[in-house]
Amino acid sequence: MKQILHNVTGYARPGEMVAVMGASGSGKTSLLNILGERLDVSSQAEVSRDVKVNGQQLKNGDFGKLGAFVMQDDILIETMTPFESFCFAAKLRTSLDDKAIKEKADRLIERLALKSCRD
């Protein structure tokens, strides 16, 4: 049996972007996959996690409601504008209709101060 991560803790302030950095093979991707519930664990693996948000226990399946991470090999279409990229991502991740997706993308553009390069 190989231990990948053990007794790992961390803290992020609301509204901050967090970068997880370390040497190759140090467990960065494993940590994020476990936190984000993206890891299909074999029957022989043992995973326990305790994730709290504002002091409240995070339930299984709720990570995507409050956070996200971009995988190392995530590919963006370089010809898309920020607005188009956000709409594309929302279509993949949500069941919202087109109008709601556009409104959400516009709010995100505003929040990230990207109005000048929206299109």
The domain total for the chain is 2
Helices 98-111 and 82-93 pack at an angle, to 10 degrees, of 130
Instruction: With respect to residue 92, please indicate whether it lies within any of the assigned structural domains.
Output: yes
pLDDT tens-digit profile of 30-66?
888 777 777 666 667 777 777 777 778 888 777 777 7
Question: Domain residues for 112?
Answer: 82-117
pLDDT tens-digit profile of 80-90?
899 999 998 88
Q: Who wins on pLDDT, 52 or 97?
A: 97
Q: Who wins on pLDDT, 12 or 42?
A: 12
> Dmax of the chain from CA atoms?
52
pLDDT band at 73 (very low <50, low <70, confident <90, very high): low
The C-alpha atoms of residue 119 and residue 117 are separated, in whole angstroms, by: 6
Instruction: With respect to residue 77, please indicate whether it lies within any of the assigned structural domains.
Output: no
For residues 67 and 18, membership in a common domain is answered with yes
